Structure 1
Amino acid sequence: MFFSLLWLSVMHCRIYTAVSPEKPTNISCIYYYDINITCSWISGRETHLNTTYTLIRKHYDDGIQQWINRDTCQSNNGSCAFFFPDIPYVRYCFQVTAKNTLNSSTTECVPMEMLEIEKLEAPDIISVEKIAGIKQLLNITWKNPTVVPERPLCCLIQYRKMHSNDLGNITDCTNHTETIKSYNLMDLQDFTEYAIAIQCKGALAKFWSEWSEERTGRTEEKAPSRKVDLWRVIESPQSSGNRDVHLMWKLLEEFPSSESIHGYKIWYIPENNASSTGSTRNTTDKKITLLLPGEAYVLSVIAYNSAGESPEATLRIPTIGEITSKHIDSVWTFTLRKKMIVTWEASSVNEYVIEWYKEWDSEPFNRSWQYVSNTTNWTFQEGAFESFICYNISVYPLFENKIGAPYSVQAYFQEKPPTVGPEPKADYLGKNEAIIKWNEINKKHKNGFIRNYTIFYKSKGGKELNKTVNSNVLQYKLSSLEANTQYSAYVIAANSAGGKSGNTITFKTSKFNKEDLLYIFISLGLCMLFLLFLGIICTLKKQSLKRVCWPDVPNPAKSIVVGSEDVFMCNSLLKQGQSEDGMVGSEDISVLEPGMPHENQTELLLIKHENYESDHTDTGAKDVPNDHKKELCNEEHEVVKSVSPSLPYIDTEQDLRSQILSAVKPNRKIYPVEKLEEDFSKPQFSPVQNSSSKDNENEDDEHTDFKEAATFNPYLKNSVNTREFVVHENLPDCNQNESRTQSTAPFQKNTAGQSYVTLDMFGLTIAH
C-alpha cells in the first residue's frame, strides 16, 4: 500500500532541476527623447530559480580610452530603463548580468550612439489649406519636435482621400532646423478632401516618431473634366403611347468626388426634329425619370459646378417597337477565385454595356452597369455580387451610337441549400391516385438554381417511395395508390449545394373514383327511369295488367243466378227477357270466349241491351207492378260497358255454348240453381221460368238430354250455404234491402282454357 501511494505521488509530481542562467542575448535600446533609455534583451532558458538581471551602462572616456561604468539598473524580467535627466549625449555601451544561487553570466558590452537610438515626439500639424488659383494642391504646415542640440530632421507626410484607404506618402528631409515647417502637396484631385498625418525622426535616428493627429483639407474646385457614365431603363409603353424612361448616371473612377458637383442638366430632343430646341431638366440627384412619346429621342446629361460644366454624355432612346439586329450570340458566367467572370460571343461589335441587378429587385434605379470595349469577357470587381442571390446579367452591344438588343442570363455568385422548402398540398384525390401541388419557392429563399423537386410519400406503416421531377414542374400525379388509405407526403427542392424539405401533409384516397360514382349514378338513374316508366305503364294499363297478372277469383257469395220477382224486375236484362211462364230465352244468354277482347265484350253487351230494349219493352212493362212501373219505364238506362273479371261466373266445358243451348232449348226455360251442401245433392229453390213459352218448347225438342249431374267447381266452393245479393245503392227502391238465396247450378267442373259465361250478364243493365 505504501509503495502504491509513493508511485502515485511520483507520477503526479513535477520534478525540476535548477540550472545556472544563460548569457542574455540581443540587447537593444531606445532613447525616448527627454523621457528615458529603455533596453531589452532575451533572457534564455528557464533556470527554475530566482534570477536577477543587472543592466550596466558604461560611457567611453576619451582620455583613458576605455569604458567606465556609469550606473546600473536591476530587474527580474527582460527589460530595464534609465530615466531623464541623467542622460547626456555621450557614447554608451550596455551589458547585462544574469545571476542566481548557482551561478552568474554576463554579456559583452554593446556600444550604441545616442543619436541613432533616439525617438522623437510626434509633430503637430498646424494647418492644411488650398492655395487660391492653384488646382490640385494643398499646403501643409506643422511644428517639428523640439530637440537639443538642434539638428536636421526628416518628416514623412501621409495623405489619403476621405472615405478611401488608398494612401500616399511623401518624405521631406532638409538640413534646416526651423521649428515651423511647411510643404506643398501637389498632383491631387480637384475639389477633393484629403486627410493628412506626419511623423518625424532625426537625420541619423533609426526610429520614427508616432503619427500626428490627422488634419483634413480640400483642393481647389474646377470645372468637371470628364463626362458622366450614363445609362437608361425603358418601361413598357402606356395605353396613351408614352413610356417612362429612367435615366441614371455615375461619376467615373478618375472623376473628382461628388462634393465637386453642384448639379446636373438633362437635355432631350426628338431625333428627327433637329430644329426643335428640346427640353431641359435640372436635378441634383444622379437619376431622373422622363415621360417621353413613342418616337426616338436623344438625351444628354451635363455635370456642373461653380467652375464650369463637364462634357455632355449622350444616349439614344429608340422608338416604340424598333427592331435591332442581335449582335450577341451567347453569354456565359462562372466564378473563379471569388470573382464573377462574364464572357460572350459577338460579331462586328467592339463596345458593350454589361448590366446586372438582383432578380427580385424591380426598382430600375438599383441596377448597375459597366461600359467595356475591345473585349468579349469581363471580370467583376470583388464585392460587386452578393452570395446566394440570383442576378440578371445582360450584355448590350453598342454600334453607330445605338444600343442593340441584349442577351441576358441569370447567375449566382455562390449557392447554398434553399432556406425554406416547398409547401405541398393534395388535390384531386381519387381512388388510386392523387395530385400533389406546390408553389415555387420565393426568389429570396432559393439560394441557387433549383434543379429538381423530389416527392416523398408513403402509406401509414408502408414503405416510403419517391418521384423526382424537373424544376419547371410544380405538380405531380401519384398513381397506383391504395383505395381508402391515408398517405403522408413532403417535397424536397434541391440545387447544386443541397436540398430543403417542406412541411409534411397527410391525405386519404377515396373509396370510389369518379368513374365508379358515375356508373353508380347512371345505374340508379336508369333504375329510377325504369321504375317510373313501369309505373306509368301500370297506371295506363292497370286493368289489362290486372286481368293478366291478378285475375279476380269469383266470389260465389256475389253470384246471382235466380232471385225473387222484384229483383228480376229491376234487372233489365232478366226482367225484359222473361216470358210469361217465367223462363229465360236462350237468345238472351251471352257466352264469352276466353280470348275475346274487352272492347268486343262491351260491344256485344251493348247490342244485346239494345235488342232487349226494342223487343221486350212492352212485355217488361206489362209484368212490372204499378208502384215500380215509373222507375222501370224510365227512358234513361244505365248500361254497364265492360265486363270486369271481378263479376261472378260459372265455368263450363269448352262446348258450354252448345250445352247451354241444348239444355235450354227443349223446355225453353232455365232450371233454378240448387244450393250446394257438402255433397252437392240437395236442391233448395224453384226454377226460374222464362217469359217466352214458345221458344222453350222448340228448344226442349232439340236438347232432351240436359239432365247431367252437376259436378264440383272449386272456384265456386264456399263455406257459406246461402248467397246474399248486394244491391247497388243507385238501383231503384225495389231492390233495396232485399236478399235472395239461391243454389249453385249443377254445371260441369271448369278446366283451364274452357269458355265461361258470367251469370251477372243477366243483370248488366239497370233501369233508373
Structure 2
Amino acid sequence: MYFVFGNGIKEMFVFLPLVILCVIPSVCEGLHESAFSVVPKDQYIEVGSDTEILCQTSYVHGKVFWTLNNRLIDDSLSYAINSSHTVLSLRNFTHHSATIQCHSADTHQVIGGTIIRTYSKPRKISCILYYINQDERGLPHRFTCSWEHQIHPLLEINYTVLCGSYPQQSEICNSRITTCTTNYEDLPKDKINIIKNSTVVVRAKTAAWEAYSAPYEFDPHHILKIIRPVLNLTAFSDHRLVQWTRSPTSRKCHCQVKYSKAVNDRTLEWVLNKTLNPHEQGNVTIEKVESCSNYRFAVRCALDKAPWSDWSLEKTVLTRLNKSDVQLRLWRTVSELEKNGVRRVRVMWTELHSTCPDTLTYVIKQAPYKEDMTGVDYTDTRCGHSTCDVDVNQDAHVINLRVFNNEALFAEDSVYVPAIGESLPQVTGIQASTREGVILVSWKAPVEPVSGYMVDCTHNGNQYYWKESKYTNITLFDLLDKRPYNITVTPLFDDKTGHGAQALHICSRVGDPGNVSISIQAYDKSALVSLSVSQEACSGAVVNYTIFYSTQRGPQLNVTVDSTTRDSYLTDLKPDTEYSIYVKATALTGTTKSSERHFKTKIFDPRLITALSVCGSILVVLVLSLGLCCAVKWKKFKDMPFPNPGHSSVALWASAGPQQGMSPFQPFSYPSESQCDRVYTEEAQRTSTSPLPTDCTAGNPASDQMEEYTDPGSVPAPAQAECPAERVETQNLCSPGESTALLPADNNMLSPYRSQNSVEAPALRITKQFKHDPVKQQEKAAPVTVYVTLDMFEQHQGR
C-alpha cells in the first residue's frame, strides 16, 4: 500500500490526514464517556415521586453544580460520595419533562446530563350500570368505566380495567381512551359475581412504564342508572296533578319534577324534588301556574347515591282558567248624546285568555242608577271576548258584566255611567309629553277626595288601552310607534265615576320627516328641483332641505334651503352631462333621505327654443292679420263705385219766390222719386239761414227741420220740398211727384242737373233733427252747384 507509484502516491498522502482526523475524535469520545457521565439516562418516574442522579468525573477533580432546565439547583440537594462522584437527590418531582445537567465548578463546563419525564396514574374512576333500551326491564345492558389521565402525546398507552380484589383481578375490558365499555349481559357469570361486590383498578401501560390507579370500590346499586319514569298529567281548574311510574325496587328513590314555560323568547324553568319510599309511586300537585298557558313537564329518578335516570318523555299541557287569576278591569267610554236621545257606551275589559279551553260567556246588562227610572228596555246583551256596545239614555246608569264558565257564574264587575249634566268632579290642567316612545301624563286633582283615576287612550277610536292610577300622573308604555293618541283622565269614587278630561293628538313619538320626493326639470346649465314631503302623523317638522348633486366623476355639491322653499334652481351645471341627485330633509327629531335620481342637462336651453317659437308664432299671426286687413281694404276699395254722369240729366229750374210762379224748367218726375233724394246746393249747406220752402213747414211751423247726410265725401243740403210732419231719426221718405225748387247760386244760374233715383231701393240716409226759425224764401233764384245722390251710382240702372 505504501509502495504506490504515480498518481496513487499523491492520493494516499492527500487522504491520510482525513483518516487521522476522523479516527482520533472517535477514540477521544469513548474515553470521555467512560470518564464523564450522568446516570440514569432518560428515565420515567411517577409524578410526585423521588429520584437520585449520579454525576461521575474520573479525570476531573473538584466541585460540581447542577442545573434543571438551565436554572441553578440548590447545593443542599446534592452531596459528594468521593472526589469523582456526586449524587443529586430530587424529592416530589412534578415536572412533566426536565433536563438535568452536571457542570464543573472550576471551568463551568457541562460534564453530563439526562432528561427526566414523569407519568401519572389514572384517577377519578367512575363506573355505571345502565340500560340501552329504556322500555326493557331486567339486568342492566352496559357496564362503563371512565377516568382521568394525563396522556403523553408521544407514547401509545393501553388501558385495562381490572375488576376484583388483588391479586385475583380479572380483565373486564381494554381501551386506548379514558373510557371503557362492556356489555354486562355478555360477561361470564363469575365476572358478574365479581362486579356485584368488587373493586375496579385501571392499568395504564406503555413501552417505557406501567401504572395502576388507586382501587375504586362501589356498590352495584350505587352505580345503577335505572329506567326513566313514565309520566302522566291531569289539569284541573285550580291545580295540575303530575303522576309517574318508576322501576319497581325495594330501595329508596329520589325524583325530580321539572316544568317550564316559554315567555318572550326565553324559557322559565322550575324543579320540584320528591323522595319516594320503597315501592311507592310518584305524584306531585302543582298550583302556582298561570291560567291558560302551555307548560312542559318531565320527571327523572335515581336510587340513593346512584346517578340520575334519563328524563321521561316530555309532555305539554294547556292549563285551565284559574278563578284567582281573573281580573276583569272593567271600563267604558261614553259618546255624545245623539238626536234620538241615546248615548253609545263602549264597555271594555281585559280579555280572559283567548287560548283557554274553557267555554266563557260574557253578558252585559245596563240598569238605571235610580230604581224609579223607566223608559228603557234593560235586557241582557251577549258580547264578545273584550268589548261590547250598549245604548243608554241621558240618565245615570250602571253597566254590569258577568262572565259564565260552562254556564256557571265565574266573575262579575260593574262600572258607572254618569247622567248628562250631572254635577261630578273633573280633573284640570291635564298635560302630556312624549319621551323615548312613552307618554307622560299629569293633571291636577279635583277638590273632592277621589279613590283613584282611570286613564284611557286610543289612536283610532276602536282600540283602547286603559290603566288605573292612584296618583296625579301616569306613564303609558307599550304604545304603537309614531301614533297620535287621545288621552282621557277620569276621577274615580267609591261607587261613581266623574267626568273625563282629554288631551288630544299626543304622539307616542315624533319621528323623522315624511317621505321626500323630488322632480327635476333640466336645462343646459341649470335645473329646477321641486320638493315635496308627504304629511304623516307624528312626523317631525322640516327645518331645512339639503340638495346633494354630483356628476359621476366630479365632487359632490350641496345646496341648503329653508323649509318654506319648494322649488330651487341648481346653477353652474355642465351642458349635456348626467347628474345624480338626492334630497335630505332635516328636522329636530331626525332626517329623511329621498331616493337617488339621475338627470341629464340639455345641449341647448329649451327655454330659448320655446321663446323663439312663441315670438315666431306671434309674428306669423301679426303678418296674417295685416295681410287679411289689407285684403279687406283692397276689396272695399276695389268694389267702391264711382259716379256715372251717364245716369244724370241736365235741366234748369227757376227759383220760386213768394210772388213768382213756377220755373219754366220743370223737374223730371218719377213715380218712385222721393223729395228727400233730390239734389241740394252747396250754398244751402254752408248757410244756416238759407230759405226753405214754405210748403215744407206750413203744416207745423214749429216742427224741427231735418239735415240729411249721404256719403262722407259729400255734404248734404236741406231739401226744399214738403216733408212729412213727423221727423224721426230714420230713413226720410218724401212724397213722390212733388216739385222741388232749385236753390239759388252765386251767379243766379240754375243747375242743369236734376235728382236721380235708384230703381231697386232708395239709399239709406242718416237724418238728424234740428230746429230752424221760419224764414222767407229768397225772391231771386241764383245759380247754384248741384250734387247728386248715390242712387245715381247703380251700375245696372239705365235711363
TM-score by length of 1: 0.52
Instruction: State which of 114, 126, 130 in structure 2 corresponds to 1:28.
Output: 126
Cα distance in 2 between the residues matched to 1:97 and 1:198: 38
Cα distance in 2 between the residues matched to 1:287 and 1:71: 77
Instruction: State which of 147, 162, 169 in structure 2 corresponds to 1:56.
Output: 162
Distance 1:309 1:572, change over 3 A: same
Cα distance in 2 between the residues matched to 1:222 and 1:462: 70
Distance 1:249 1:295, change over 3 A: same
Checking the alignment, whether the CA contact within 8 Å between 1:351 and 1:399 is kept in structure 2 is yes
Cα distance in 2 between the residues matched to 1:91 and 1:310: 65
Post-superposition CA distance 1:40-95 (Å, at most 9, x none): 23343451443322233345xxxxxx785243311122211243242777454433
Q: Percent identity?
A: 15
Checking the alignment, whether the CA contact within 8 Å between 1:454 and 1:491 is kept in structure 2 is yes
Instruction: State which of 102, 124, 127 in structure 1 corresponds to 2:230.
Output: 124
Q: Give the superposition deviation at 1:469.
A: 4.4
In structure 1, list runs of 5 or more residues that go unmatched.
Answer: 1-16, 60-65, 335-339, 543-569, 574-589, 591-597, 618-633, 639-729, 732-767
- Give 1:167-316 correspondences, 5 Å limit: 167-175=269-277, 177-178=278-279, 180-186=281-287, 196-214=297-315, 216=317, 226-232=326-332, 245-251=345-351, 258-260=356-358, 262-269=360-367, 274-275=373-374, 278-290=378-390, 298-305=398-405, 306-314=407-415, 316=417
Post-superposition CA distance 1:476-505 (Å, at most 9, x none): 232585899898753234676764322426
Cα distance in 2 between the residues matched to 1:458 and 1:256: 58
Cα distance in 1 between the residues matched to 2:193 and 2:457: 67
The one-letter code matched in structure 1 to 2:302 is K
Cα distance in 2 between the residues matched to 1:480 and 1:218: 69
Instruction: State which of 379, 384, 390 in structure 1 corresponds to 2:482.
Output: 390
Structure 1 SS opposite 2:330: strand
The one-letter code matched in structure 1 to 2:502 is A
Q: Size of the alignment, in residue pairs?
A: 521
Instruction: State which of 568, 571, 583 in structure 2 corresponds to 1:491.
Output: 583
Q: Give the superposition deviation at 1:262.
A: 1.9
- Establish whether residue 422 from structure 1 lines up as the match of residue 522 from structure 2: no
**Structure with greater proportional strand content:** 2
Q: Give the superposition deviation at 1:264.
A: 0.4
Checking the alignment, whether the CA contact within 8 Å between 2:290 and 2:325 is kept in structure 1 is no
Cα distance in 1 between the residues matched to 2:482 and 2:286: 46
- Establish whether residue 455 from structure 1 lines up as the match of residue 455 from structure 2: no
- Give 1:632-711 correspondences, 5 Å limit: 636=754
Distance 1:500 1:635, change over 3 A: closer
- Establish whether residue 614 from structure 1 lines up as the match of residue 749 from structure 2: yes
Determine the structure 1 residue equivalent to 2:434: 332
The one-letter code matched in structure 2 to 1:207 is W
Checking the alignment, whether the CA contact within 8 Å between 1:73 and 1:82 is kept in structure 2 is yes
Cα distance in 2 between the residues matched to 1:207 and 1:35: 16
Checking the alignment, whether the CA contact within 8 Å between 1:423 and 1:503 is kept in structure 2 is no
Determine the structure 2 residue equivalent to 1:94: 200
Q: Give the superposition deviation at 1:281.
A: 0.9
Cα distance in 2 between the residues matched to 1:245 and 1:18: 94
- Give 1:322-471 correspondences, 5 Å limit: 325-334=427-436, 342-348=439-445, 351-353=452-454, 362=460, 364-365=462-463, 367-374=464-471, 376=473, 378=475, 380=477, 384=478, 389-392=481-484, 396-400=488-492, 401-402=497-498, 403-406=500-503, 409-411=506-508, 422-425=516-519, 434=528, 436-440=530-534, 453-456=545-548, 464-470=557-563
Checking the alignment, whether the CA contact within 8 Å between 2:580 and 2:596 is kept in structure 1 is no
Cα distance in 1 between the residues matched to 2:714 and 2:509: 101
Determine the structure 1 residue equivalent to 2:568: 478
The one-letter code matched in structure 1 to 2:145 is C
Post-superposition CA distance 1:549-596 (Å, at most 9, x none): xxxxxxxxxxxxxxxxxxxxx9999xxxxxxxxxxxxxxxx9xxxxxx
Distance 1:274 1:42, change over 3 A: farther
Cα distance in 2 between the residues matched to 1:428 and 1:268: 69
The one-letter code matched in structure 2 to 1:636 is R
Instruction: State which of 241, 246, 255 in structure 2 corresponds to 1:144.
Output: 246
Q: Give the superposition deviation at 1:263.
A: 0.6
Structure 1 SS opposite 2:749: helix
Structure 2 SS opposite 1:108: coil
Q: Give the superposition deviation at 1:228.
A: 1.0
Post-superposition CA distance 1:252-307 (Å, at most 9, x none): 7xx99744452101123566884456343113432334466677764332212233
Checking the alignment, whether the CA contact within 8 Å between 2:164 and 2:200 is kept in structure 1 is yes
Checking the alignment, whether the CA contact within 8 Å between 2:457 and 2:466 is kept in structure 1 is yes
Instruction: State which of 130, 134, 157 in structure 1 corresponds to 2:257.
Output: 157
The one-letter code matched in structure 2 to 1:214 is K
Structure 1 SS opposite 2:172: strand
Checking the alignment, whether the CA contact within 8 Å between 2:121 and 2:213 is kept in structure 1 is yes
Distance 1:173 1:482, change over 3 A: closer
Distance 1:343 1:425, change over 3 A: same
Structure 2 SS opposite 1:311: strand
The one-letter code matched in structure 2 to 1:614 is M
Checking the alignment, whether the CA contact within 8 Å between 1:242 and 1:294 is kept in structure 2 is yes
Structure 1 SS opposite 2:516: coil
Cα distance in 2 between the residues matched to 1:459 and 1:608: 97
Cα distance in 1 between the residues matched to 2:312 and 2:179: 25
Distance 1:299 1:186, change over 3 A: closer
Cα distance in 2 between the residues matched to 1:113 and 1:346: 75
The one-letter code matched in structure 2 to 1:348 is A
Cα distance in 1 between the residues matched to 2:466 and 2:194: 66
The one-letter code matched in structure 2 to 1:156 is Q
Checking the alignment, whether the CA contact within 8 Å between 1:158 and 1:197 is kept in structure 2 is yes
Checking the alignment, whether the CA contact within 8 Å between 1:246 and 1:287 is kept in structure 2 is yes
The one-letter code matched in structure 1 to 2:246 is N
- Give 1:519-558 correspondences, 5 Å limit: none
Checking the alignment, whether the CA contact within 8 Å between 2:547 and 2:560 is kept in structure 1 is yes
Cα distance in 1 between the residues matched to 2:150 and 2:598: 72
Higher relative contact order (CA closer than 8 Å, sequence separation 6+): 1
The one-letter code matched in structure 1 to 2:129 is Y
The one-letter code matched in structure 1 to 2:173 is C
Checking the alignment, whether the CA contact within 8 Å between 1:223 and 1:307 is kept in structure 2 is no
Post-superposition CA distance 1:607-637 (Å, at most 9, x none): 999345637x9xxxxxxxxxxxxxxxx6627
Cα distance in 1 between the residues matched to 2:173 and 2:333: 77
Determine the structure 2 residue equivalent to 1:551: none
Checking the alignment, whether the CA contact within 8 Å between 1:422 and 1:491 is kept in structure 2 is yes
Distance 1:52 1:231, change over 3 A: farther
